[in-house]
Amino acid sequence: MAYLFLLAAIVTEVTGTIATRFSDGFTKPVPSAVAVVGVVGAYVLLSLALARGMSLGVAYGVWAAVGVAAVTLIGALFLGDELTLVQTGGIALVIGGVLALELGAAH
């Protein structure tokens, strides 16, 4: 159940981050509200994952890495952001680091 809350936290955080892009400096009410609700909701859901026994380091690492990778890919695929080979390598390194945290926590 902790991983379901973590997944929901990631989805809401990514939604909030993408909405921030469309908020035009928080001058547009709807995307601004989505951004704030997304970020606050993400923290609430993250706290629920932690309350169900997930370790903080693993939860935050997975949340941050998947969030960064998802926002980067959404930006590149749908919003016209550039994605270089170095950035792609960086995403791979972040994901590898999180995997190391996860595997290390299992032992």
CA 64 to chain centroid: 5
Q: What is the pLDDT of residue 9?
A: 98
What does the alpha-carbon distance between residue 45 and residue 78 come to, in Å, rounded to a whole number?
A: 26
What does the alpha-carbon distance between residue 13 and residue 72 come to, in Å, rounded to a whole number?
A: 13
Residues 17/32, Cβ–Cβ less than 8 Å: no
What is the rounded (10 degree) CA torsion for 40, 46, 48, 54?
Answer: -170
Q: Which residues, given as ranges, of the chain have pLDDT below 70?
A: 106-107
Q: What is the pLDDT of residue 106?
A: 64
What does the alpha-carbon distance between residue 92 and residue 58 come to, in Å, rounded to a whole number?
A: 17
Indicate the pTM of the whole model: 0.88
Q: What is the pLDDT of residue 107?
A: 56
